[in-house]
């Protein structure tokens, strides 16, 4: 989770050894990231990258769009310097941001303002810019594929895309397939995460429904396995994860990755 020299080298080497096609970099603190070193390591490994984040509380777009734009601008510059293809995640707010009421028009206006500017900056760097709906316990702003599509179509930026996550869809959508159908042409990236965020295939997500619907909409974007073992406190708090959700990284990689690749091959996605 720490993208310093040691963390970057370890993550890239492990992803390469596991046969992953790309890596997602969590830009928790983009200002402290060394993009020159990271890019060199990625290029040496011939490993493409995508960057993701959630906004810190001081930069929540719903409250202060200018502060959000400032943080996102730094993240976009870092992402581009790393040689990544996209910045995505909870780019519209914080992981754990909840007001206690439905989003107001003013909050959504602020979010749209920040995202529109950020998407423009990303485009100037040749980057795609995504938004990821997350469940009601992690934000009150954008929970469903339909809400994400509404925001993207409101902004109208050509480089914006929808990023779905099967864990969140398992909570918020009336079936994961319906969420994927709602996203359709805007869907360019998906986190394949089990119902408990642990080892894919060991929970209650309907993987046949998920992969069949992805195939039905001719999905050609990034299939990212997202599973957690150890997390920094600020992320664990936002996600409300208080215990290990898998026995080991070896279990997640050794069982979860082959499971997902097998399903992707079964449905003609890889």
Enumerate the active-site residues.
Answer: 132, 226
- Count of Cβ atoms closer than 10 Å to residue 9 Cβ: 14
State the Cα–Cα distance between residues 233 and 1, nearest whole angstrom. Answer: 11
Strand partners, 128: 86
Backbone phi, then psi, for 201, in 5-degree steps?
A: 95, -10
Quick check: 138 and 239 in contact, CB under 8 A?
A: yes
Q: Is 146 exposed, middle or buried (0-12, 13-18, 19+ CB in 10 A)?
A: middle
Tokens 């009336």 identify what position? 174
For residue 131, the SS3 value is: strand
State the Cα–Cα distance between residues 244 and 7, nearest whole angstrom. Answer: 21
Q: Is the dihedral of CA 236, 80, 260, 267 positive or negative?
A: positive
The structure tokens listed for 184 are 């359709």
Tokens 């429904």 identify what position? 209
Sheet with strand 23-26: strands edge to edge: 23-26, 49-54, 86-90, 128-131, 160-165, 187-192, 222-225
CA angle, residues 71, 41, 251, in degrees to nearest 5: 90
């Amino acid at each position: 989770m720490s993208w310093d020299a040691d963390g970057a080298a370890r993550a890239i080497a492990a992803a390469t050894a596991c046969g992953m096609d790309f890596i997602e970099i969590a830009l928790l603190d983009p200002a402290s990231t060394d993009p020159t070193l990271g890019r060199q390591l990625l290029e040496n490994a011939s490993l493409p990258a995508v960057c993701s984040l959630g906004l810190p509380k001081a930069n929540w777009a719903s409250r202060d769009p200018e502060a959000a734009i400032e943080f996102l601008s730094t993240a976009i510059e870092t992402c581009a310097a790393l040689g990544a293809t996209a910045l995505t995640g909870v780019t519209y707010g914080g992981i754990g941001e909840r007001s206690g009421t439905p989003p107001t028009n003013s909050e959504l206006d602020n979010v749209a303002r920040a995202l529109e500017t950020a998407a423009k900056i990303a485009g100037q760097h040749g980057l795609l810019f995504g938004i990821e709906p997350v469940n009601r316990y992690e934000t009150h702003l954008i929970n469903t594929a339909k809400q994400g599509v509404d925001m993207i179509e409101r902004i109208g930026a050509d480089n914006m895309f929808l990023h779905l996550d099967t864990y969140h869809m398992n909570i918020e959508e009336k079936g994961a397939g319906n969420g994927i159908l709602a996203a359709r042409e805007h869907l360019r990236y998906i986190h394949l995460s089990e119902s408990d965020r642990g080892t894919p295939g060991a929970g209650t997500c309907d993987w046949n429904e998920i992969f069949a619907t992805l195939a039905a909409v001719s999905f050609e974007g990034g299939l990212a396995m997202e599973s957690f073992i150890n997390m920094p406190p600020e992320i664990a708090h936002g996600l409300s994860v208080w215990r290990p959700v898998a026995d080991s990284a070896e279990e997640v990689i050794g069982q979860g990755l082959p499971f997902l690749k097998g399903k992707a091959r079964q449905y003609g996605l890889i």
